[in-house]
Amino acid sequence: MTERTLVKVAMADLNVSREGVLKTVGLGSCVGVTLYDAKNKIGGMAHIMLPSSSLSRDGAINLAKYADTAIPELIRRMRELGASPHLEAKLAGGAQMFAFSTSEALRIGPRNIESCKEQLKRHSIPLIAEDTGGNYGRTIELCCRTGILYVRSVHRKVKEI
């Protein structure tokens, strides 16, 4: 694989890689969580839709859909690939897409951010950068060679965090 290798992460999905770029699009109220092992150059990304698996209405849970299940699963898969215990996290997304609502049910973006941060703290993973909140969508790409997270938004400059 080369640096041009693109590993797509769909909505309510996660993936890990040693090479290439992990990419997800359409982060509105969803949060993109990236984990990175700088020593072994292993990256992981989850496109999280909801803060807690307790919101599931189905018997079968998609582990990648919820912050409380996606982050532990991402850690597990990275360790399976050979990642060290020393991971760093970056977050993007979690926009408040319904700006005129004060309803707790519509505060999905902020609740997703809070839940992701809680999970990172629970697993002793430092959050080293974030581009969260606002009222606009994002696309993110994690370079597995460098650990740089590129954040793209319409009508905004590309951010490197």
Is residue 146 within 8 A of residue 154, CB to CB? The reply is no
Nearest in space to 114 (alpha carbons), one of 51, 69, 30, 27? 51
89-to-32, 56, 80, 150 alpha-carbon distances in Å: 10, 25, 18, 14
Identify the residue whose tokens are 């040693």.
18
Rounded distance between C-alpha atoms, residue 153 and residue 161, angstroms: 14
Nearest in space to 89 (alpha carbons), one of 115, 121, 116, 128? 128
Give the residue numbers annotated as catalytic, written as ranges: 30
Give the list of residues 6+ apart from residue 102 with CB closer than 8 angstroms, or none: none
